[in-house]
Amino acid sequence: MPDRSESDSRSRSLLRRLRDTLATPGGGQDRLDRITSLIADSMGTHVCSIYLFRDPETLELCATEGLNPDSVHHTRMRLGEGLVGRVARTGVPVNTGNAPSEPGFRYMPETGEEIYSSFLGVPIQRVGERLGVLVVQSREAREFSEDELYGLEVVAMVLAEMTELGAFTGEHNGIGATHRFPVMFRGTTGQEGAAEGRVWLHEPRVVVTNPVGDDPEAEQHRLEEAVISLQAQIDEMLTASVAMDKDQRQVLEAYKMLAHSRGWVRRMGEDIALGLSAEAAVEKEQSSARARLEQSPDPYLRERLHDLDDLSNRLLRLLTGQGRDTGAELPENPVLIARNIGPAELLDYGRRLKGVVLEEGSVGSHAAIVARALAIPLVIHAKRITNEALNGDPILVDGDQGIVHLRPEETVAVAFRDKIAMAAEAQKRYADLRDLPATDLSGKTVALMMNAGLMADLPSLMSSGADGVGLFRTELQFLIRSRVPRRGELAALYKRVMDAADGKHVQFRTLDIGSDKVLPYMKPQDEPNPAMGWRAIRVGLDKPGVLRMQLQALLRAAEGRPLSVMFPFIATPDEFHEARAALLHERDREATRGRPVPAVLKIGAMLETPSLAFAPDSFFEACDFISIGGNDLKQFFFAADRENERVRRRYDTLDTAFLTFIERIIARCDVSHTALSFCGEDAGRPVEALTFAALGIHSLSMRPASIGPVKHLIRRADLDALRRVILAARKAGAPSVRPAVMAYLATL
């Protein structure tokens, strides 16, 4: 073997300088700039560049020494595009002395890289998670040596640690902080069941603080001692596995075989001999082995990734002494999150867990076998969730659908809880009312509709006794994705919604974003008051392509069936007329193309701004239906932000002024024969719902879990009698009719 002392010394020197640079105070971009300069200087190259993922499909040049500095944060490429994209996609280094001749080479003129012939790119990755690409280039045509390749891989490993820890985030470099927004992960069912809880990360971060081993013999000894301890742990688990079934014992036997693999231990020893510490050698072998196994077409070999990670992480904890006890307490209702989990680890937790979510795995994996034995809901293939999740984050696990909601929007959380609540004991008392109409003692019937936004909501349509879906929130399908959904995806979803409704009425609300609902892939708007800013129909009309795509999806999903579409946050008649014209135009285009169009197309508006109540008669006549959006209308009527706890509870829905305003809307709709409904939180509150019905609103849309209580109260009351009570209270000058309504209810 060639004498490597000189190259090892250079590698150690570079790592020490890199460590010092990362420890120096400064912003994220400043660190990136100093690192590229340091690497280029240490390796004697003309160029060093760092590319990081902007999103799962896009790489961005974030720092460079040698290329045109103006290209930083402007040069981007897709995953697999060019040599950099190839390294990112495959996880395999590219080393060439003639970069332009390489297959897939892409010339980026803005970088000024045409004068550099040689190219060496290595993935910035940690335990299989690819975070970017580290590149060095030189003018002379030559391949870089094995020592140079090895040294750059070690540097990339350290950069991966720092990238994941957020060392390079900052306001000025466009690399934003993570772990803030709601995220949905669509995986695969590993074990059925549903759970709501708090995140518990399976692997607390093991930080490798000593990547360079000053004494190879001492590092080798530390590794050997840790491996012996690890093997003893596995042997003890097997000894204690008498009570396990055959499948579980076979899992541990396979686990033991890998722990005793001589090749695994030998490769880590070779890394130590080349200058790494024992910890760095374990992590480097873990990442390298993952890169190899992920490319294997053999599913059995790919399945060994889980056992490899489990063993490697146990070994790292033994070496670092960091352990799993970080001082954090297991939260109430813990949901375990892991890239993967070995059978021993899952058995350690036992039945304390409410659910398990894995980035990888398979239905027949070792983890799935144990999860089924413990009856723990399990979702697998939830890609990147370990990067997104933090201990304590709220999380919803739908093992039946293979879907996970991390830091869910409140509307998503409410829908999920309703799904569980409808099956809970508390709802049993309303079971006998499910198939009965909401008819009061005087014979008046009120249509009770449900709000929905997910396919998971639709089973509640039948189980709750709802008459239909008064509001299907289409924005949830945009909020839970990292990109704009495709028309075909939306059409398929809307079709499934209509199929699940089985002929019952469904009103689709077009995209309602802005205010408190910001798309993760949409640049946030710097607005002083987003609730009254660029949102809902205003976005749709300003971005007609998105609106047109959604309208086409709705028309195609109907497949000739009746379709109801309503536009949100209409403030002026012109906005409604423009949106209505767009829908009719798309309907006519579909017809000319020979596609089926809805047998009946009803077009309505959500009345959420007080201005619309004073619109000309022609507006009400043009609307097939109007739905009062109570949440927004109330906040604008009282000038009280519904997100502000200090003021939103100050104002009563049964305030006389507000109800008088509602009556004005009712009267306008009665004159124009426009169907009217009330949608919002108040529609699901029995007292408020009963009051609206008494005033003349004959359709209410609410959470599924509210339908039983509201129906129960309506069937006990006389709406005509309650209306007389309300009018008398108002005539008497009462600021709120609530006391009078409550007094009436006390007589029932």
Q: Catalytic positions, please?
A: 366, 679
The DSSP bridge partners found for residue 564 are: 507, 602
Pairwise CA distance, residues 138 & 302, whole Å? 37
Strand partners, 451: 471
* Residues whose CB falls within 8 Å of the CB of residue 737, separated by 6 or more in sequence, listed in order: 654, 656, 659, 691, 725, 726, 729, 730
Element (H, E) at 546: helix 544-558
Pairing of strands 47-55, 129-138: antiparallel
Residue type for position 740: A
N- to C-terminal Cα separation, the chain: 95
CA 576, 578, 579, 581 torsion: positive or negative? positive
Q: Cα–Cα distances in Å, from 212 out to 40, 126, 242, 488, 748?
A: 20, 17, 43, 52, 80
Q: Which residues pair with 95 in a beta bridge?
A: 120
- Residue 225 DSSP symbol: H
Hey, what are 102's tokens? 């390489």
Residue partners of 748: CB distance under 8 A and separation at least 6: 716, 717
For tokens 């710097």, what's the residue? 526
Torsion of CA 374, 380, 386, 389, to 10 degrees: -70
Neighbours of 127 (CB within 10 A): 21
Size (the chain), residues = 748
Question: Is-contact 85 60, C-beta < 8 A?
Answer: no
- Other beta carbons less than 10 A from residue 712's beta carbon: 17
Whole-number Å distance between alpha carbons of 247 and 244 = 8
- Which amino acid belongs to residue 299? P
How far apart are the C-alpha atoms of 422 and 35, rounded to whole Å?
56
Residue in this structure with the two tokens 């933090």, named with its chain if needed: 390
